[in-house]
Chains A and B, each alone.
Chain A
Amino acid sequence: MKNKQMININNVTYEYKSEDENLVAIKDLSLDIKQGEFIVIIGHNGSGKSTLAKHMNALLLPTEGIVEVKGMDTQDEKHTWDIRQIAGMVFQNPDNQIVGTIVEEDVAFGPENLGVKREEIIERVESSLSLVGMDAYRFKAPHLLSGGQKQRIAIAGIIAMRPDCIILDEPTAMLDPEGRREVMKTIKKLNKEEKITIIHITHFMEEAVDADRVIVMEDSKIVIQGKPREVFKQVEKLKKLGLDVPQVTELAYVLSKEGINIPADVLTVDEMVMKICQLR
């Protein structure tokens, strides 16, 4: 199961065309994502990560190269809607992606578009809302909820379409720490319990710690890729790119530079505590 291909991106280039100049957002980029993976993409604004995300569900079509979702070419218009059902997308601003004026109506929007039968829509709305822990808010108006809650509603709206994969384009960028925690907990739960492939784009390095794979983008390309431990170990390289590492990792890095015997790939506070206790 885990080795099945979910998304294949082969030598994709994408240019934003405007009248006076062409802006290359992705340059000759290749990436394979397997079913069930939890991938975190980090990088600067303008590094091309949002553009890349929009290729994964046919919102943008590559200028050159091929994007395949479960073997379906995104260029093929026949498959557009199947692809968007398989690869759901959650955006940055929770206010700008909620269509319904009542929580349950918004969650039902996706399945309604897919032409799902009435009874099943109701069932899906219920199960999706309970999955994100928002069942108590089913009949509330979304604009009265907190940012984290709104974002969880948006996630529920995607889950109700029964996707295999969810792409989250900086879903935590506009949230307070509490909302960020809620959303991250939900995302991890979806990956672990529902086996949904997650592609999570973020600015917060702490959110990348539990990923299966971290991808660092810079200047339209992938520059570092690997397990969180391998990626964050390269503190200097990341700093050079102007990116942060998780605070604990940075601490470990600084300590080891001072000659204290701590490995540079510590990712969590607990691990750090263990390592420090083992010092003598």
Chain B
Amino acid sequence: MLKDITIGQHYPTGSVIHKLDPRTKIIAVFVFILTLFLVENFMAYGFIAIFVICCIRIAKIPIKYIIKGLKPLTFIILFTLVINSFMIAGEIIISIGPLNITEEGLYQGTFMAVRLIMLVIGTSLLTLTTSPITLTDGIESLLNPFKKIGVPAHELAMMMTIALRFIPTLLEETDKIMKAQMARGADFESGSLIKRSKSLVPLLVPLFISAFRRADDLAMAMEARCYRGGEGRTRMKELKYFKRDFLAIAVVLSLFAVLYLM
């Protein structure tokens, strides 16, 4: 199940979207998130959905892969839907005991759930189409103007790169520790919530210890490879805007302007 998490994973296909400048994509996602929160009708969401599906197609990422990435979030999405349906007052459709499902609630719940799904798909499209290092290069370059007021742009970017690089490694490790503990009779699946969270201790302790050891090793390896911060560092991949970047930004901005005005 842990292997199913696709958030933060990179899926290289070499499509146009992959080739876009990371800054373009970051800005686009930013605009996208903003629009999701500003736009409040289903029609507009329909258009956003079409736009998202188009993006997925252009990026040549299998839809299945995206849906797989949503799986771990099923609970949160359902939770949003249910809570909203019950909690919001309005015209009652069905009542179960003291609980009432209202029309407004159902509407609001579905809306929230769709918003959540869009949010996850939109942002995961960013990481799926951008290699983490390019992504952090983009963030670093976008943050660079703020360096003067003390924002550690390079350090932040490096931290993110390493975090992203180690996600698959640590997931694999979690899986391994889980199996090892299960083989020794640990039970992660049954019991009350408290019992289950307690049973995570034998999983988390070794995981943390190993993560610290890895951090130590990595720091040593980075130093051995002459890493000494952002000063005087060159880049193999320099960021450069092309025509397609301006085009992409124009498309995203105009699309969302239209949606906002609708």
Contacts and interface: CB of A to CB of B under 8 A. Distances in A.
Given A91-B217, A101-B10, A113-B225, A121 B131 contact: no
Interface stretch (A92-100, A193-201, A218-226): A92-100
Given A91-B220, A95-B169, A112 B12 contact: no
Interface residues of A, number: 39
A274 B201 CA distance: 60
User: Is chain B's interface secondary structure helix, strand, loop, or mixed overall?
Assistant: helix
Contacts of A35: none
Interface of A: 57, 59, 81, 84-85, 88-89, 91, 93, 95-102, 104-105, 108-118, 121-122, 125, 139, 141, 143, 157-158, 161
Nearest to B213: A96
Contacts of A139: 12
Contacts, number: 99
B225 A109 contact: yes
Contacts of A97: 217-218, 221
A99 B172 CA distance: 17
Contacts of A81: 226, 228
B236 A125 contact: yes
B189 interface: no
B22 interface: no
Contacts of A111: 234, 236
A101 B166 CA distance: 9
B131 A85 contact: no
Given A96-B214, A115-B232, A118-B238, A89 B224 contact: yes
B227 A88 contact: no
Interface string B137-164: 0000000000000000000000001101
Contacts of A93: 214, 217
A169 to B, nearest CB: 10
A101 B226 contact: no
B165 A101 contact: yes
